[in-house]
């Protein structure tokens, strides 16, 4: 069975479970460049065309909870933007808790404006019809005191993995496409993105599914 079909089946199960009285939250974790954003985009498109899921899936990316650039500058962390401590993890956990707390509450969340590199407050609305919220980010499974509460707010977590050389190449290409010179892009990846990746590569052990390039490569025997 193709992986996307299996993923949609798992989403449909989560949506059906939401009828028990609260929304379900699906987390998609993994290191930078491993394909989280691509997987989410594919999943949301497929969900919109699936009668079981259409209009019932919302998207709240972790990226919206980046600290503003001015705050990172004040903290001396602008050069490590994207590290675990450069996110407002308490606000992120609060939003995830809010979407779970009431099945029909409208909840607003920030988005990340990649054009200016800054978070945008209350740009996302989780509407009353949403039974499943999909959220993705590097640190959903991070074994760190500040981040551990996030895992407890996720009903299921999928982990995106990719061989290191390929992941690094994709990251460099992404930064070049966004306007960085190749040498600067390479330096940023090696200094920042790869440091962040090393923190989370072991997260697959705590995930419900592991995917490589959108293909399921590991899953529990029963679920």
Alpha-carbon span 56 to 128, nearest angstrom:
9
- The pLDDT score that the predictor gives to residue 102 is 82
Around Cβ 61, how many Cβ atoms within 10 Å? Answer: 20
Strands 156-161 and 209-212: parallel
Quick check: helix, strand or coil at residue 199? helix
The dihedral of CA 95, 38, 142, 3: what is its sign? positive
Helix extents (H) in the chain: 3-17, 36-48, 69-75, 89-101, 148-151, 164-177, 182-188, 194-200
pTM over 0.75: yes
Structure tokens at 205: 């052990």
Strands 118-126 and 132-137: unpaired
Structure tokens at 92: 């992120």
Q: Which of 49, 47, 61 is nearest to 12 (CA)?
A: 47
Alpha-carbon span 141 to 148, nearest angstrom:
7
The mean pLDDT values, 10 residues at a time, for the chain of 223 residues are 89 88 94 95 97 97 97 92 95 97 92 92 96 98 96 97 93 91 93 93 91 83 41
Q: Which of 77, 79, 84, 130 is nearest to 107 (CA)?
A: 130
List the domains of the chain with CATH numbers. 3-162+202-213 (3.40.50.300)
Distances in whole angstroms, Cα of residue 166 to Cα of each of 32, 38, 98: 11, 15, 37
Quick check: helix, strand or coil at residue 182? helix
């Amino acid at each position: 069975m193709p992986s996307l079909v299996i993923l949609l089946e798992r989403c449909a199960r989560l949506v059906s479970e939401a009828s028990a009285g609260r929304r379900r939250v699906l987390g998609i974790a993994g290191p930078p460049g491993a394909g989280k954003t691509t997987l989410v985009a594919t999943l949301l498109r497929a969900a919109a065309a699936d009668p079981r899921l259409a209009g019932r899936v919302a998207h709240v990316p972790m990226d919206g909870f980046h600290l503003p650039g001015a705050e990172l500058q004040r903290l001396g962390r602008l050069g490590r933007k994207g590290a675990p401590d450069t996110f407002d993890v308490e606000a992120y956990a609060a939003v995830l808790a809010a979407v779970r707390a009431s099945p029909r509450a409208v909840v607003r969340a920030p988005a990340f404006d990649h054009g200016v590199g800054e978070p945008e407050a209350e740009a996302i609305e989780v509407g009353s019809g949403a039974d499943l919220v999909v959220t993705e980010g590097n640190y959903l499974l991070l074994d760190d005191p500040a981040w551990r509460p996030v895992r407890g707010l996720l009903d299921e977590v999928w982990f995106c993995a990719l061989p290191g050389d390929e992941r690094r190449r994709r990251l460099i290409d992404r930064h070049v496409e966004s306007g960085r010179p190749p040498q600067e892009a390479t330096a940023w990846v090696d200094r920042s993105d790869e440091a962040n990746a090393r923190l989370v590569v072991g997260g697959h052990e705590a995930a419900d599914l592991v995917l490589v390039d959108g293909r399921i490569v590991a899953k529990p025997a029963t679920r």
